[in-house]
Structures are given as C-alpha cells and as structure tokens.
Structure 1
Amino acid sequence: MINQGKCKPASVGRWCGGLLVLGIIGSVPTVMAAGAISGTVFSDLNANGVMDAGEAGFGNITVTAYDPAGAAQGTATTAADGKYTLDATGTGAYRVEFTNIPAYDWPGAKGSQNAGSIQFVADGATANVNLGIQSPANYCQANPKLATPVYVNGNASNANAAMYSLGYDGTAKATIAKQSDIGSTWGLAYQRETGKLYAAATVKRHAGLGSLGLGGIYAFNSPNGAGGAVPFVDLDAAPFNLNVGTLGNNTARGLPAGVTTMNNDPAAYSAVGMQGIGDIDLTEDGKTLWVTNLNAVKGGVGSLVKLDVTKGVAPTSATEYPLADISGLPTCTGGVLRPWALAFHHGKGYLGAVCSAETSKNRADLQAFVLSFDPNAPTSVAVELNFPLTYTKGAVNTTAFPTIGSQWNAWSNNPADFFTGSNYYGRPTPVLTDLEFDDSGAMVLGFMDRSGMQLGAYNLMLAGTTDLIIYQQGGDMLRACPDAAGAFQLESAGKCGGVTGFSTNNNKGPGGGEFYNDNIPIAPIYHEEMPYGGLAIKPGSGEVVWAGMDPAVYDSGGVYWSKNANGSRVRATELWNGMQGGSDGIGVMNGFSGKTVGLGDIEVLCDPAPVEVGDRVWLDQDSDGIQDADEAGIDGVAVKLICGTDEATVTTANGGQFLFTNKAGGNATFMGYGESCVVKVDSSQPVVKDYKLATANTDGVTSNNALTDVRDSDATDNAGTAEIAFTAGGAGENNHALDIGYQSAPVTDISLTKVVDKTTAHRGDTLVYTLTATNAGPAIASGVVVTDQLPDTVTYVEDDGKGDYIPATGLWTLGSLAKGDAKTLTITVTVK
C-alpha cells in the first residue's frame, strides 16, 4: 500500500494531505549600494515634525546604519548644529537608528522632516534622514499665559491682588489670587499635565505671609482661569517639620490690616534672604518639586528640599539635603553662601547662590555661583559658573546716588549701612534669584536687590523711629553662553558667545558693557537697573521675559520682553501703579511697592506637550521578528487604538506607518497621559489574512519602551487579533516603537510515501510499514506532523523510535525538515 501527495499550505497550521506544516524561512535579501547618509537632528519645539525658524540643531546624537544582516556598517555623531554625515560600508539597504537621546527628551512627532528614531534607507546615498527631538519641558503654545506674584503692604487680610496673570502678548491682565489667599510669595512652578501652579511663601518686609506662614506652598488648580489658590503643604509643620526659620506671624510682626498704613516690621528686616523659601522648580518630568530652604539648617548654610508631587497629589513626606553635607560646595571669604535660584535643564539640577560678604563688609568678597547637581542623588555639586560681583553696574539713580548705587554691596542687617537721614536711598545687595536656559543652551541669570525686599516704599524704618524711607532698588540680568567645550562663559563687554548685545562700552556690566538693555524706558533715564530678579523664557520665542520696575511710569511695576539674540528690549507691560499724588513724580503710600521689589518670579503656563504613539506594520521576510533593513512595510492595514471605552482607527500608509496623537485636532484626543491602552489589528482583513503574525519580542525586550524596544515585533495573537498593550507616556513622551510584524505563509513541498514489506499476508503474519517524509523546499518546514492511523485489521507491535509516534492516534511528529531532507519511520504490526 502506497500513499503519497504534495501540498503548499496557504497559512501556518493548515492541514493538507495528512500533514501539518509550521514555520518558514524568508526570501534572499535585496542587495543595494553603500554610500553617504546625511541629515539633521533638531529640537522640535512645537511638535509638528518640521524644523521651523528658531528651532536649533541638536548635538551629540549617535546615528548608526545597520545592514540587512543587522551588522553595524557605520556611525556618526551630530555636531552642535545637529548635522551629521555617515559613510555606510557593506551593502544596503540600511536601518538607521538614532540613539543617545538625553533623559527627559523623546523622538519628536513624525512629519515631513522627521521620520522617527528608526528609519529605513533604500540605498546609502541618501540625504535628509532627519530626526526631531521633542523636549516636553520646551513645548509651548503660541500665546500662553504668564503668572507673577505682586506684593502689597499689610497683613495679607485684604482682597488686593497677590498673583497676576496676563497673556504672553501682554494683554488680558487678571487677578488669580488675593492677598488673603496666599500673602507674599516668590517662587513659582507650573505642572503642565495637571494644570497646577505652585507658589511658595517668601519674606518681604511690610508684606504679610499667607495662612501657611513661612513654610507655605500654595496650589492653583486652575491658574488659567479664576479659581484662586488653596494651601498645598506647610514645610515647617507636621508631617514635614522642616526648620525654615523663626519669623513670627503677621500679628507678631505688627503688620496692619490697612494697605496704606505705614509700619516698621523690624523682624522681617534681617529675615529677608535668610529665612523661609527662595525659589522652587519642577524636574523636567513634572513629578518632583524642589525647594530652596534659605534658613541655615546646618553648617551655617541652607538646604535643598525634594517633594514628590506626581499627578499633583500633595506629598506626606519630604527629603532634605543640607548644603553643608554636599561635597564640592564652594566656600566664601568674609561671608556666607546664600542660595536661592533653582532650575532643571537636560537632566541636571542647577542652584544659584552668592557669597554675601556679610561679615567682612568688603564688596571684593562678593561672588556669584551656579552649581549643578544630580536630581537623583544630590550628594555633590559642580561649579558651572562663578564670577566676582565687583563690576560696575548701571546706576540705581544717576543723580541721587550714582556711586554706591552703581555697584553691588555687601549684605547687611545694619540699618546704618542704608539709612543716613535722607528718605531716598539705593544700595543694591545681590541675590541670584532665577536661572533660565534659552533655545541655544545659553543661561540667563536674574539678580534681585535684597535691599529692595528689606526696605520699603513710602514706609517706615525700624522700630523706635518714624523716619520715612523711599528705597530705589537695582537688580540685574546677565547672560552666560556655552563655549565649544560646553563650559559657560559670562558675558563680557556686552558680548556673549560671539554675539554682540546692547552695549559693549557703557561701563555698566561685566567687562564694561551690558548684553541686555535693562534701563528705564522713560525719559529722562534716571534709573539704569530695572530687574526685580524674576525671569521666564517661552521656548522658541527667542525672548526672555523679566519682572522690573517702571515699565510705563515712575513708581510702577510690570514685565519686560527682551531679545536673546541682541539684548534689545521688545516691549513692556505695566501690572501695577504705585504713583499717586503730585506731578513731581513722587508717589505716596498706596499699598504697592514703589521703586522697591514689586513682583516675584515669572512662570509661563505652557500646555503639556502632546503624545504620539504607533509606528509600523511590516513584512518580516526572514521570520526573525526583527525589522531588517530590506523588509518593507505593509500599507492598507486598519489599525485600531483603544483606551478605555474610546477608540480610533487609522490605515497604514507610507511604508506601513500608523500614528495616533492626542494633540488638539488629532485623531486620538481621548488618549490620556499615563493611560493604559491597546493597539489592535484584525489579522483576518484581506491585506494580511495570508500572513502569519511574527513572533513577538525576539529582541529580548518586552517593555514596549519608546527608546529601547524599537526593532522587534511587539504584537501577540489573541484569537486572530494582533495586540500590543502599552501605557501612554507622560507629556511629550512619544512612543514610535509599537511595531507589528507579519511573516509570509510557509512555502514547502513535502511528500509522504508509505511502503509495506509484503504484498500479501495471513492472520498472524508480521508486517513492517516504512513511512518516508521528504521536503523539496524551498523553505524549512517546522513542526511537521504526519497522521497515519493503522487499519483495524492489524495490531501494533513496535516502531523504530525515529520520531514521536503515537499508535492510538497515528500521529507521527517529525519536527523540522530542511530543504531536501527526509525522515523515515518503521512500524511493526501483526495481522489479526
């Protein structure tokens, strides 16, 4: 008896002539020429996939080309302008991978100039293989709101404004918090994903604290509206119990209810800059709030405080890092290291501080420092920038005190250093209060005049005197640019990074010039240093926004916009006006700050960056589950995204690409940050029904991580549906690593012969069957199973064990058969 046949199953798992064949090896790769691959990596600030004007190149990104066998055939690193050229060797096509993307940065949204961090190049001589990098912290909409605190005389029990907002274009000023809500605050931090604005209490003489006192941090749950602020945490109360200082409450300070009532407030005089909270800032992922504790908690210096505010939930614990315990901290001659400013940029934390010269009273001991630290383990600091504060400044008042008001002076708590009988005075003392980084990587430094927080406007001097003082503050704003080695260099003679600013020789800044024009915009120019110390930069704007005095009239306060390209002033907007009374330009007490420090930090309320997910459906020709350089995408596949009860469907195009985005007007606006979602493909749809789903996670990575799980197929089969379960990233955390591979159905040519050793037999005779299975190719056949049910007229005796044969079912499991291979099985039976 002989039974033979051939089959070429259309899909894996199909029975054909008693054979079940599983597995396939793909076709021979196409060979293409090698050559040069070039392109640009850029900062995609507006997440549109295009390198727009004002978007800079992105340096130090590694670009590698892999051939069809997965071997690296060349690598390059992008220059400072983001450009690269890679000379690929071997034979193409190539899979081009972009790696070494910094922490907190992600591959940008795909678009006409960005095809993602994994790209497929048909031949080596290819230009414009570009990648956009999305930095979630650098994304912003066209006209966001700004927020800034304002200071008002009295015990903070009134309904006067404590926080203003306005459009970035300078319009639509609004009060978003009252004095009775938060009192005096300085540091601000905006958590984009939750829409929360945090504001920290600060000590300003004559201005009362809010309900939480010296250690208070308040939260605006809807700062873009009029929702006001609520208490968030009190660092000097349980469960935190941090030592932020000893300054008493508003009653103990003798602060009046009336905003026009003069007062002494002597306790706050020496507490300014030495007690309470300085700056606050969020890490780039928006999950950790850092606070500068100005109080000398250990070793005569302050501390850094870390709070977990993930999803805007109020923390129940804090981690404090006394600066005295951190290695690398600079020492000061004749004074104390006084911290304030905080910033986070490209994975580093930055702390701004000054050496105060408060003991020596020698201004030659004044120094400014910018120190970097690791937010994950702040055990040490590195000095990124330091310089003496002995340069000649612009004059606080060119006629009243042109000398002492044209320099930084030593910190002092001695009234005699300020008050000599005249009610007008200006004696600037430095506090490095704010740090911002612009799109070029340059650093802008904001300096507050501490004396402008200690002394009042049309207010009283210390207890025991009814002397009136009208202080005129003089802060500053400086720029530092990275050199070729990445080290920051302070502006000098009005130049920074080879760029000329406002003036190279006016003798009013480091090296005898000023990069930024911070003179009063009112003629005649009596005041030459307007900044209050608060800064903000809207990404992509090319501008720095800064708080300062007299933007429109004398005795007023507001915000200025200046160009980072040349230091010129663009515009100014008044937020409050303290000028009342005669035409001589001298105001009277009306509750605002006159020419002292009148506003705090500035925060840009940028929307969270959108998230884009998806990638590619492709034909895995060699069935290894990896996207090889020569393997094409499959267009026309319907791909569904499901997040909760919401869903959207797109069809693959442009080489098997599929993308979903929650940006405004996008195809998946329902997709929330951190939401659990799934991508699905119905494998029965016509374009893929004759293929088999590729084996998932053959690269050994199962995380679906956007940066590390990028080459293999991620989909598993669920009753004929390919599925990838994933968690949507936080703001701006695009995931272009959700890939679905299909492999061709097996193409094999298997024949089976069955021969019996006798042509006739009688009851009790022994017969031997010989089964032979042969694969004529072209593919390897794996998982081959033959069904050979013995007839009822014979009784099974034994087989030769060449394979796994089960007499009861007749199943003979052969395993794999390479092209041209054959396997045999002999079965001995007796005739009944």
Structure 2
Amino acid sequence: MIRRTAWRAVLALSWAGALLAPAAPATAQTGEGKLTVNVFREYAAKGTLDPRIQTALAGATIRVTSDHSRESRNYPVGPDGTITIDFDTWAGSKGKYKVELINWPDKYDPVTGTGFLQPAFAGTGLSSHLNYVDMDGGRDATLNMAVWNPDDYCQDNPTLVTACQQAATKPGEKTLVTFPYNSRGDTQGNTTNPKPIATVKETGNVYGLAYRKKDKRLFSGAYAKRHTEYGPGGPGADPQGAIYVTDRTTGATSLFTTVPNAGTTAHNQGSRVDAAFSSRPGKESLGDVDISSDGSELYVVNMNDGKLYTYDATQATATGPKRVPVPIPDSACTPLGDWRPMGLGVRDGVVYAGGVCSAESTQDATKLRAVVWTYDPTTGAFGAAPIVDEPLNFPRDPANDPTPGDWKPWTRDNLAQFPMGNVAYPQPMLGDIEIERDGSLVLGFRDRFGDQSGLQIPNANPNGPIESTVTGGDTNKVCRKSDGTYHWEGSADCPRPQGGNEWFTGDTWHTGTGHRETAWGALALPLQQDTIASTFLDPWRTITSGGVGWFDRTTGHRDATQDGFGVVYATDGGFGKANGLGDLELLCDDPPVQIGNRVWLDDGGGTQNSRNDEALGIPGMTVTLKDSTGKVIARKKTDDKGEYYFDHRDGLEPNTDYTVEFDKSTVDINKLPNYITTLDDLMWTRTTGRDPATNSDAEPTGGDETDPIAVAKVTTGPPGSVNHDLDAGMWAGT
C-alpha cells in the first residue's frame, strides 16, 4: 500500500499520463462477472428487500463508472425494473466500478418542489444509491435500490378512526372513535377500545374523514342520514356544510369551515321518525373528504351542488375555499341529472373523485354506472374522460338470503313510491376510493337504503310498516395495467384470484350465510401491508352491529370467523344492519428519517472510488449516535460492506442535531487486506473531498489521524428525508 504522501505524487503523474497517452483500444475486458440492478418503489421504511410489497420501477437510469479507465456509461432500467450489465465491451476497467442510481420517474426536486419520489431507506437487502462493486475474476453482483414517496408511509400497526353514526332518539353519544389496526373481536360495552375522541354534541352526524399528520388534526364532514342530527355548525352557518376539526393533541373539536350551498333540509324526528328526510341522503350535505399528499389541501365533495371544494388545510379555520369550486363532470350519465358524486381518493398528487349514475329518473338498472375521474390540483382541472366508467347491473350475492342483492336504481323523492316491506333494497353510492401500490383502485360502495331507513323505525312510505333494514354494499377492484388503462374485476385483464363473482370474498356473516354483501363502503389501505380494511355490518359474532372487516389484497380473501372487529351496537345508539359507520381513516405517523452509510478503505486520495481496494468497506467498526447533549441514542457496528444506518427504530428524529462517533478499536481486521496487520495501521482520512456523497465526514479527535475516535456532526432533515452521505474513510499508513 502506498503511503498518502507518495500516493498524491503517483496520482498527479497518472493524471498527466492520462492527458498525454492515446485512448485505450475498445477491446473486451475479459473475466468479469455480470451486474444486475433492481429498482423498486418502497413503502415500509425498513431498508429490507420485500418484493411482496415493493413494486418494480421502470424508467430509472443507472450510471456505471470505471474509476480506473474513467469511462462512464448510463443504462436505462427496463419495464420490469431490472437491468443486467455485462462488461465485455469495457476496456481497462480492471473489474472495479462505481454504480449510481441517478434518475427515475417523478424524481423529487427540492428546488422546484416538483416530483415526489425520493431515495428510500437502505439496510438489509436495499442498497443506497451509490455503490462500489468488484466484478473481477468472474464475480457477479446484484444491487437492489429503491425510491419512495414519504407521504405513503404508515407505521406497522397504525390507529384507525371511524365515525359512529348515532340514531337521534337513542342513547349513543360517541361519534369519532379510534382503535388499533390489528384489533379483532366484539367490543360491546368496552369504553376504551374503540376509544371515543368526539361526541354527537361536537360534530353531529359525519361521514368523510381526513387526517393531517403534520399537526395531528382530524377533519370530519357533515352527512345527510335519516334519524340523525347535524352538528352545531357555526354562527349563522348551515350545519349541512359543516366541517369539524379534532386536535388529537389537545382533544378539542371545533368548526373548521362551512361548505356553502350544501342543502337546507332539516331533520324532523317527530314526523314518523324523520321519515320525510329519506329522500335527502346522497343529494344534500357532504360526501367524502380527503387531504393532499403533503397535507396542505383539504378536498370536499358537496353532494348538493356536485362540486369539488378545496380548502387550505394548514389553517386553524378556513373562511372560504382556496380556489373556485370545480364541478365534478357528469358527462358519463344519461340523463346528466342522475350523476351523484361522493367518494374521494388521493395519491402521488392526483385526486380521484367518483360517484354513480343513479338511474333515479329512468328506474332503468342498465343505466346504473360507477364513474371515477382524476383531478389535477396544480391545474384545477379534471381529466378529459373518466378512468372508470362501468355498468353496475351485474349479478351480486344476496344482501339478505335468498333475495338477490343486485343493485337497484335510486328511489325517487316521492315517498309514496318508496318500496315497502323490503328488508333489503340495495342502491349504490360510491363512498370511498383507495389506490393500490400499482395504481389499481379499490372502490367502496355504500348502500343508500341504509341511510334512508334504520333499526325498527317506520318505512319512509306514509303507508309503510315499522321495519329494520339490511344493507348490501360492496367492495370492487379495478386493475390498472402498465399502459395506464383500467379494467373492472372479472375481466380478462383483471381476473378474480378466487374466481366466482367477487374479487373480495368473505363479506358475509361469520357463518357464510344470511347476509353476503355486508360492506358499508368505507376503506383504509395501508400500502406497507397486504390487507385492506372495510366498514361492515355484523363483522364478528354479535348481530345488529357494525364494525370493520379485513381482506387480503392479493387473494381477496377474508376469514369471516376471524377478521372482524365490532365498533357500534344497537344498544349504544347504532343503526343495527343499516349503515352505522362513516368513513375509515388511517392515523399515520409522520414519515421517519435515516442517516448513515459507509466506512471505507481509502487508497489515500481522500474520496471514495473503486480503484485498488476502495470497493472494500471496513467491517466491525462501532458507530455511536449521540444527541446534542452527548447522550448515547444508539450504537451500531458496520457490516461486511462497511455500512451502517440509524433511523426511527434507533430513536432518530427529524430536524435534530446529532453527533456520530466512529471507533476503530472494534474493527474486524481479519476481513481487511493482509497488508493491514494491526489497527494502528488504520488512519482517518481528512475531510477534503468536495462531493459530500464521496468524501469523508469524520474528523479525528484533536486532529490526530491516528486517534481511535473520529466524529461527524449532522442535522437530520425533514420527515421522510434520507442522508446516506455520512461517511468515514480510513487509509493504511504502512
């Protein structure tokens, strides 16, 4: 090994020679292995390789550089997220290369704020975006690199929140309740799980929920449902358009804003238990509410005027919309007046707005349709055509055996024509939209009949009996193909994994009989897991109850005997089998941060490259994370590649000052080249390099490069950020 002073002289001569010597002939470099690079989109923030929940990312660019010959080439990653490189045409590389992921679709630019995909966590299985490989001697290598949208992050067992919709003349008081995602079983009488966080007096009846994780505020929107009451609203404001906000830190609930023109019909419990209100669900008040990926904007569907409203979600209260409300297009419906929007979904900066063609005016079931549009908040415009436009007159399982549960046209406003004696009369409302990892959609359909009726109340028809309703909602999959087209489940491009007439099976009473379309239309989909949660009737064992059921998103299966959780019951103000819950929302934490990367064997040049032994990391070095007071937060040892990482699992926080201490006394010298005989041979590289990705950041104690300890200062970035440039170099002073 050349000492540092001698190395600098050799380096200068080599550069001079490079300028004077003729170019090397492009003869094949023999005896080198093949390099495979896989690029993924990541969701779990663990640094592990898990193709089960990671999706291949096409269109990225890999740069490979031979630090010996100075040659550099770019390689496009294929549609399957993979590129295999063979080095037969490389000349004079000596098998050692620097490999970088330099570009990818939707790459986040911190200067302009455009894009959303950033470097993901590294660790066991996933590599950082800068690597060094040695392909000499026919050695093959595989690198797995990943990017992520930090806004996709959710912890392993997040809290779920839903809205209990309480019957006005019954004793229930809770509206918003929370519970862990892994909850299962019946909870009748339990006062802590689900945990109430808001009351009827504070919010009245609500459906749509949206969570701003940056300040832990939960938004809830008023909803038109028979035999409920609206909330307090504000001074002089119509409660039909009220949006409330609940601060999870303080527990306080207050009015956030009032959406204008949301309807005027009041409840009247004294008139045959609010019977006249039965014509209003789906036509007045608010539908779904959702929040932008960055938490800055709140989106609201006004079901009275059919428009999408946008509010500044960063404010404590909003006096009015952030921009002019935009009509959600009705062009898919015949006639246009039968368009009924309700559901929302948001992912990667795109808003999805959906609804149904109700067929109310024609009473022709062939005109029932599900329609989904995309909306671009940056332009304030909807797409030129819907991405989903599907008839809903297909066969469905019974909502109440043995009567078929096929969707029916919406009932007309003339209550003298309201169906009598029907325990089930399913009418579709598209209540929620979730977006899968690959861009496919999961649509939650709510049965409007459950909002027009109830548990042991008079039929809305003036001549009707007292009865109890059974709802027949649904959950449907729409597959997105790589060409950007969408295909309804059951088609050739979206085959159902278990066959039959449903993708999501097990939406039944636990016996598998009686009620076989039990969904209530609200969904929650954690991208880092393989299940989806849906609101449900009778989800566990207790009849006339409401709660949540969980499906496997790959197989579509739900174990009806195990995957359920009771939330609301007939005994605490619930509606029995008639829509007793509103929206379902994940209360995810802010995305975590990660720092670290590599301790390498420097050849004396002061920056990382792949010449000589610089592809080698230094294993076994102790790396200690300390806070600004010197308190030890975590301690790691570098792996065989010389890499180390700290993140939220070690107590790392965003926007915080830390010290990273490197201790060479534990280095595994047996894994280093044999010219290094003792730890005293290893000296710290000075922080002289200009490129933070390749220089050394560790300063030896007292400036003595022979000292056992070197220290780097670092300030972590905002939530979701990754800093893999915190490196330390060591050279052999022999």
Q: Which TM-score tier does this pair reach, normalised by the shorter chain? A: 0.7 to 0.9
Which residue of structure 2 aligns with residue 823 of structure 1?
none
Match of 1:696 among 690, 697, 709: 690
Which residue of structure 2 aligns with residue 663 of structure 1?
648
Amino acid in structure 1 at the alignment position of 2:596: G
Which residue of structure 1 aligns with residue 260 of structure 2?
243
Please say if 1:127 is aligned against 2:109. Answer: no
Alpha-carbon distance between aligned partners in 1 of 2:4 and 2:725, rounded to the nearest angstrom: 32
With over 3 angstroms needed to count, the CA separation of the structure-2 counterparts of 1:50 and 1:100, relative to structure 1, is same
Which residue of structure 2 aligns with residue 593 of structure 1?
575
CA deviations on 1:168-209 (whole Å, 9 max, x unpaired) are 231573231332232222122334454443332222121112
Map 1:315-354 → 2, pairs under 5 A: 318-324=321-327, 330-336=331-337, 337-354=339-356
Shift of 1:534: 0.8
Please say if 1:49 is aligned against 2:47. Answer: yes
CA deviations on 1:446-467 (whole Å, 9 max, x unpaired) are 1111232133332245697785
CA deviations on 1:109-147 (whole Å, 9 max, x unpaired) are 322212212111122753321124445444444433322
With over 3 angstroms needed to count, the CA separation of the structure-2 counterparts of 1:633 and 1:346, relative to structure 1, is farther
Match of 2:310 among 305, 308, 332: 305
Amino acid in structure 1 at the alignment position of 2:310: V
SS in structure 2 of the partner of residue 214 of structure 1: helix
Which residue of structure 1 aligns with residue 230 of structure 2?
209
Which residue of structure 2 aligns with residue 672 of structure 1?
653
Please say if 1:497 is aligned against 2:494. Answer: yes
Which residue of structure 2 aligns with residue 111 of structure 1?
123
Amino acid in structure 2 at the alignment position of 1:672: E
Unaligned runs of 5+ in 2: 19-28, 107-114, 188-192, 234-238, 666-679, 704-709
Contact 2:262 2:304 survives alignment (8 Å): yes
Please say if 1:542 is aligned against 2:530. Answer: yes
CA deviations on 1:519-578 (whole Å, 9 max, x unpaired) are 532558343321110112233442222112233344222222222233222222333332
Which moved further from structure 2: 543-552 or 171-180? 171-180
Q: Name the TM-score, length of structure 1 as normaliser.
A: 0.68
Which residue of structure 2 aligns with residue 760 of structure 1?
none
Alpha-carbon distance between aligned partners in 1 of 2:527 and 2:507, rounded to the nearest angstrom: 25
Match of 1:175 among 195, 205, 210: 195
Contact 2:358 2:369 survives alignment (8 Å): yes
Match of 1:384 among 387, 394, 397: 387
Alpha-carbon distance between aligned partners in 1 of 2:630 and 2:105, rounded to the nearest angstrom: 32
Please say if 1:413 is aligned against 2:406. Answer: no
With over 3 angstroms needed to count, the CA separation of the structure-2 counterparts of 1:114 and 1:209, relative to structure 1, is same
Alpha-carbon distance between aligned partners in 2 of 1:331 and 1:646, rounded to the nearest angstrom: 64
Contact 2:621 2:663 survives alignment (8 Å): no
Alpha-carbon distance between aligned partners in 2 of 1:628 and 1:9, rounded to the nearest angstrom: 16
Amino acid in structure 1 at the alignment position of 2:100: E
Unaligned runs of 5+ in 1: 1-7, 13-20, 237-241, 505-512, 580-589, 698-708, 746-832
Contact 1:556 1:577 survives alignment (8 Å): yes
- Aligned residue pair count: 660
Which residue of structure 2 aligns with residue 263 of structure 1?
273
Shift of 1:371: 1.9
SS in structure 1 of the partner of residue 381 of structure 2: coil
Alpha-carbon distance between aligned partners in 1 of 2:312 and 2:302, rounded to the nearest angstrom: 13
With over 3 angstroms needed to count, the CA separation of the structure-2 counterparts of 1:383 and 1:181, relative to structure 1, is same
CA deviations on 1:723-754 (whole Å, 9 max, x unpaired) are 76655121x33222445779999xxxxxxxxx
Amino acid in structure 2 at the alignment position of 1:569: R
CA deviations on 1:696-735 (whole Å, 9 max, x unpaired) are 35xxxxxxxxxxx8567789999979876655121x3322
Match of 1:145 among 139, 146, 159: 159
SS in structure 1 of the partner of residue 582 of structure 2: coil
With over 3 angstroms needed to count, the CA separation of the structure-2 counterparts of 1:139 and 1:245, relative to structure 1, is closer
Match of 2:445 among 409, 422, 447: 447
Shift of 1:391: 1.6
Shift of 1:350: 1.8
Match of 1:218 among 244, 262, 270: 244
With over 3 angstroms needed to count, the CA separation of the structure-2 counterparts of 1:57 and 1:415, relative to structure 1, is same
Alpha-carbon distance between aligned partners in 1 of 2:145 and 2:410, rounded to the nearest angstrom: 50
With over 3 angstroms needed to count, the CA separation of the structure-2 counterparts of 1:287 and 1:394, relative to structure 1, is same
Which residue of structure 2 aligns with residue 613 of structure 1?
595
Contact 2:43 2:54 survives alignment (8 Å): no
Which residue of structure 1 aligns with residue 486 of structure 2?
488
Q: Name the TM-score, length of structure 2 as normaliser.
A: 0.77
Shift of 1:627: 4.6
Amino acid in structure 1 at the alignment position of 2:690: A
Shift of 1:633: 7.0
Which residue of structure 1 aligns with residue 670 of structure 2?
none
With over 3 angstroms needed to count, the CA separation of the structure-2 counterparts of 1:457 and 1:162, relative to structure 1, is farther
Please say if 1:363 is aligned against 2:357. Answer: no
Which moved further from structure 2: 428-437 or 132-141? 132-141
Alpha-carbon distance between aligned partners in 2 of 1:616 and 1:434, rounded to the nearest angstrom: 45
With over 3 angstroms needed to count, the CA separation of the structure-2 counterparts of 1:302 and 1:412, relative to structure 1, is farther
Amino acid in structure 2 at the alignment position of 1:64: R
Amino acid in structure 2 at the alignment position of 1:696: R
Shift of 1:445: 0.9
Contact 1:104 1:285 survives alignment (8 Å): no
- Cα RMSD for the two superposed structures: 4.4
Which moved further from structure 2: 164-173 or 444-453? 164-173
Alpha-carbon distance between aligned partners in 2 of 1:474 and 1:333, rounded to the nearest angstrom: 24
Please say if 1:603 is aligned against 2:592. Answer: no
CA deviations on 1:242-262 (whole Å, 9 max, x unpaired) are 4141336xxx52347xxxx96
Shift of 1:274: 2.7
Q: Percent identity?
A: 24
The structure with the largest strand share of the pair is 1
Which residue of structure 2 aligns with residue 576 of structure 1?
568
Please say if 1:292 is aligned against 2:296. Answer: no
Which residue of structure 1 aligns with residue 550 of structure 2?
561
Contact 1:26 1:621 survives alignment (8 Å): no
Which residue of structure 2 aligns with residue 788 of structure 1?
none
- Please identify the structure whose Cα radius of gyration is greater: 1
Which residue of structure 2 aligns with residue 100 of structure 1?
104
Please say if 1:282 is aligned against 2:291. Answer: yes
Contact 1:41 1:78 survives alignment (8 Å): no
Amino acid in structure 2 at the alignment position of 1:615: N
Match of 2:209 among 175, 181, 188: 188
SS in structure 2 of the partner of residue 86 of structure 1: strand
Amino acid in structure 2 at the alignment position of 1:365: K
CA deviations on 1:600-642 (whole Å, 9 max, x unpaired) are 122233444431113346678696x875443557759887767
CA deviations on 1:266-306 (whole Å, 9 max, x unpaired) are 3x43442233322222333444433323231xxxx311314
Alpha-carbon distance between aligned partners in 2 of 1:378 and 1:523, rounded to the nearest angstrom: 48
Which residue of structure 1 aligns with residue 256 of structure 2?
233
CA deviations on 1:751-772 (whole Å, 9 max, x unpaired) are xxxxxxxxxxxxxxxxxxxxxx
With over 3 angstroms needed to count, the CA separation of the structure-2 counterparts of 1:155 and 1:66, relative to structure 1, is farther
With over 3 angstroms needed to count, the CA separation of the structure-2 counterparts of 1:330 and 1:228, relative to structure 1, is same
Alpha-carbon distance between aligned partners in 2 of 1:9 and 1:112, rounded to the nearest angstrom: 33
Contact 1:679 1:724 survives alignment (8 Å): yes
Contact 2:262 2:302 survives alignment (8 Å): no
Amino acid in structure 1 at the alignment position of 2:584: I
SS in structure 2 of the partner of residue 319 of structure 1: coil
Please say if 1:254 is aligned against 2:268. Answer: yes
SS in structure 2 of the partner of residue 116 of structure 1: coil
Alpha-carbon distance between aligned partners in 1 of 2:480 and 2:631, rounded to the nearest angstrom: 47
Which moved further from structure 2: 128-137 or 734-743? 734-743
